[in-house]
């Protein structure tokens, strides 16, 4: 539920009046969305949309409402208790990233005097003020849910989160030994006096502000002690009882300050601007520039100070002064702070307090019928295109096996792969290394600017280079976010390309938690398009045209606008017309305006949006035929789908692009048109998602979400379908 989730770079708005960007990267085949007669909006139709000046919701406030929905799941007594604990941790982690990137970006614009109104009509200062007000309410509610609902509920299940004074004598003795043997050797007290300036406080670290007094002189001194992140956030004292690590440290501070009186101990936490700004002079220097910027990230200016409610006013005043934060950036909360550490509690071995165990199943087209040996993926894909739906379909026995089989197959000549995020012990990396070491041509497009994964990706890029892979970092000024894998195989009939195009990262760990789609195909037209795209990314090819792909930054926005226009044309001609889209976020003004045009023409539009939605559905005269639903649950809904009725000949596209400026203008993204009858499989999924009895959130015209508790739980239905395959 986190992370990828939530943020985007600052960008200019695009509307219907803007033309396509000219990067020379891609073009789309001319007859992809041809409709006779075509629809082209006239000036009056455009004016009818633009007359609604408040037609765009603010993206930042919309994101906060998404995170509020996460918090509501933590409040839901019908969910398994440890899953509620997990949602509390996810809420906190999401908010950390939001402040590090989005709030930091607003602060930067305000400091630079950039007072451009957002598409919502609000100035940066107005947006920031609204964010801080709403965030304080949500953070206080978050702390209250933990204290008043979760802690008592855990206690009833014999899992206790207690403070130091609640520990029994033997438990305190255990903590004392732990402190002496393991924690004390790691701690470093940092004094503040004329000879010792105020220490640097790293972002998201948990810290103790300590006030001590010299008993001889009577003079008071301030010191800071960092709570080491290498230890578990909640210390186990046995029998499923836990105490915050800062409590253990705080009560033993006299050992750090012998001869001094410890007067006060207060917990605090700082969030810093940790968004990267890398100037790309040329690809050769990109790696070095990024490594340098990663060091700089640690010293970004503070954007939030969290303190416990009981903090002494003098200590708070010192922190505000030394950290140079504004009063409105201070969040006073009942402790403990930093509830991202609740992930450790959610991981406890208490299956009775979690969702029932689900083991992803091998896709039926890739499952062995009689033999116990794995299916030949190439043979299966030659026989029929395979639409994968993770985590319900196993990643390990599909995408991972596809690449591992390619690495070991002597008939495979080359493997080409994009990597945006992957796991630390990735079998995908191992397969690419094995392929290169066995003499195959291996090209890997590594996006080393994937936010907060930069260090990992630099490390894997070097490992791949040392193994003999050709590693490139994509195009200057653009992040490579498309999810592509291609295997070139020498077969009796000639060279054949096998392709995987997906909506999610090649990460076996998140593939068990994120909902994503992927296409495995031997379709020649798709394979040729993907080959051209890889050549664009690795070389100087700039004239490729695509028949089965939409590729950003040039053709995704324009292609989708044309497809929406096509549905309007079908509707006006009396043919079947409908638009159904599933994305993580929708912000792009040009596409929103085009959907408004479709609604004003009478085309039914269903949007399935997990996070940010700047579109206002159900507004009379503007968006009466548009419905917006959101599904939050066990798995993070992450796939992107674009489905069009097509006058009775449906088309469906899947891929990596959300409807945001960063995806459409500043990233290389790819959508693939699903071949054959696969759009019908997508239609079944969308029918289920938009059914009236499906449990989902519904967006109102004023931007508020309401929870519709239905009898059908989408993710559970899909789990049950896979379980019946046994």
User: What is the per-residue DSSP string for 563-592?
Assistant: HHHHHHHHHHTTS---EEEEES-B--HHHH
* In contact, 549 and 672? CB cutoff 8 Å: yes
Written as six digits, the tokens of 144 are 């209250």
Closest of 344, 345, 343, 338 to residue 154, by C-alpha? 345
Round to whole Å and give the CA distance between 130 and 109: 16
The DSSP output letter for 489 is E
Vertex 679, ends 674 and 681: CA angle to 5°?
A: 120
Within 10 Å of residue 531's Cβ, how many Cβ atoms?
18
CB under 8 A, 24+ apart: contacts of 349-352: 350/82, 350/157, 350/159
Of the candidates 585, 397, 431, 419, the one whose C-alpha atom is nearest the C-alpha of residue 507 is 419
Residues 6+ apart with CB under 8 A from 181: none
* Token representation of residue 219: 């003079």
- Gap between the Cα atoms of 703 and 701, Å rounded: 5
Minimal CA–CA distance to 622: which of 51, 40, 16? 51
CA-to-CA separations, 489 to 343, 371, 383, in angstroms, rounded: 44, 25, 16
HEC-encoded secondary structure of 531-549? HHHHHHHHCCCCCCEECCE
Half-sphere exposure at residue 358, Cβ-oriented, CA atoms within 13 angstroms:
26
First to last CA, the chain: 29
Look at residues 619, 609, 714, 461 and name the one whose alpha carbon lies nearest to residue 69.
609
Element (H, E) at 593: helix 589-601
Catalytic residue IDs: 481
What residue has token string 């398009």? 529
């Amino acid at each position: 539920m986190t992370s990828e989730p939530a943020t985007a770079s600052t960008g200019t708005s695009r509307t219907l009046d803007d033309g396509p960007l000219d990067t020379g990267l891609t073009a789309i085949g001319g007859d992809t969305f041809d409709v006779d007669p075509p629809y082209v909006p006239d000036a009056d139709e455009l004016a009818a949309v633009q007359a609604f000046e408040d037609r765009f919701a603010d993206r930042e406030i919309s994101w906060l409402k998404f995170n509020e929905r996460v918090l509501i799941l933590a409040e839901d007594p019908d969910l398994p208790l440890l899953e509620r604990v997990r949602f509390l941790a996810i809420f906190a982690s999401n908010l950390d990233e939001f402040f590090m990137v989005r709030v930091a970006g607003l602060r930067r614009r305000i400091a630079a005097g950039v007072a451009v109104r957002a598409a919502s009509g609000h100035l940066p200062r107005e947006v920031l003020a609204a964010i801080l007000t709403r965030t304080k309410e949500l953070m206080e509610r978050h702390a209250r849910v933990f204290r008043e609902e979760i802690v008592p509920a855990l206690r009833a299940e014999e899992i206790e989160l207690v403070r130091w004074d609640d520990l029994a004598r033997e438990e305190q003795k255990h903590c004392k030994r732990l402190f002496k043997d393991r924690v004390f050797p790691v701690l470093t007290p940092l004094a503040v006096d004329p000879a010792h300036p105020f220490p640097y406080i790293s972002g998201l670290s948990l810290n103790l502000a300590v006030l001590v007094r010299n008993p001889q002189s009577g003079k008071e001194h301030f010191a800071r002690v960092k709570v080491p992140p290498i230890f578990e956030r909640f210390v186990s004292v046995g029998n499923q009882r836990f105490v915050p690590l800062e409590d253990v440290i705080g009560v033993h501070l006299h050992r750090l300050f012998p001869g001094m009186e410890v007067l006060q101990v207060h917990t605090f936490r700082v969030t810093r601007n940790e968004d990267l700004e890398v100037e790309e002079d040329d690809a050769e220097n990109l790696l070095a520039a990024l490594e340098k910027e990663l060091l700089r990230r640690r010293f970004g200016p503070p954007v939030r100070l969290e303190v416990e409610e009981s903090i002494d006013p003098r200590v708070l005043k010192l922190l505000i002064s030394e950290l140079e934060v504004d009063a409105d950036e201070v969040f006073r909360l009942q402790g403990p702070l930093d509830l991202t550490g609740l992930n450790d509690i959610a991981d406890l071995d208490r299956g009775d307090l979690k969702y029932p165990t689900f083991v992803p199943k091998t896709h039926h087209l890739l499952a062995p019928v009689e033999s116990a040996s794995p299916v030949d993926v190439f043979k299966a894909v030659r026989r029929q295109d395979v639409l994968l739906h993770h985590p319900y379909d196993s990643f390990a026995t599909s995408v991972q096996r596809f690449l591992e089989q390619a690495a070991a197959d002597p008939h495979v000549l080359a493997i080409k792969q994009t990597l945006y995020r992957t796991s630390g012990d990735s079998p995908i990396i191992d397969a690419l290394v094995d392929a290169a070491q066995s003499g195959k041509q291996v090209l890997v497009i590594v996006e080393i600017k994937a936010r907060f994964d930069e260090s990992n990706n630099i490390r894997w890029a070097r490992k791949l280079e040392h193994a003999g892979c050709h590693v490139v970092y994509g195009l200057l000024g653009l992040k490579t976010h498309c999810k592509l894998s291609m295997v070139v195989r020498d077969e009796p009939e000639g060279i054949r390309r096998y392709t995987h195009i997906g909506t999610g990262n090649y990460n076996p760990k998140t593939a068990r938690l994120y909902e994503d789609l992927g296409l495995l195909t031997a379709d020649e037209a798709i394979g040729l398009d993907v080959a051209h795209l890889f050549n664009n990314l690795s070389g100087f090819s700039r004239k490729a045209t695509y028949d089965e792909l939409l590729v950003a930054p040039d053709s995704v926005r324009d292609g989708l606008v044309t497809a929406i226009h096509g549905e309007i044309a079908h509707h006006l001609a009396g043919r079947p017309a409908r638009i159904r889209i599933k994305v993580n976020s929708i912000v792009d003004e040009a596409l929103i305006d085009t959907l408004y045009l479709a609604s004003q023409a009478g085309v039914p539009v269903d949007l399935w949006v997990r996070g940010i939605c700047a579109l206002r559905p159900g507004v009379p005269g503007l968006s009466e035929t548009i419905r917006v639903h959101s599904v939050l649950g066990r798995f993070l809904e992450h796939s992107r789908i674009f489905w069009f009725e097509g006058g009775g000949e449906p088309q469906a596209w899947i891929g990596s692009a959300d409807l945001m400026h960063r995806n459409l203008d500043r990233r290389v993204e790819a959508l693939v048109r699903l071949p054959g009858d696969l759009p019908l499989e997508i239609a079944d999924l969308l029918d289920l998602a938009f059914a009236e009895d499906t449990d989902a959130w519904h967006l109102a015209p004023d931007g508020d979400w309401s929870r519709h508790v239905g009898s059908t739980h989408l993710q559970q239905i899909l789990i049950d379908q896979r379980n019946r395959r046994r």
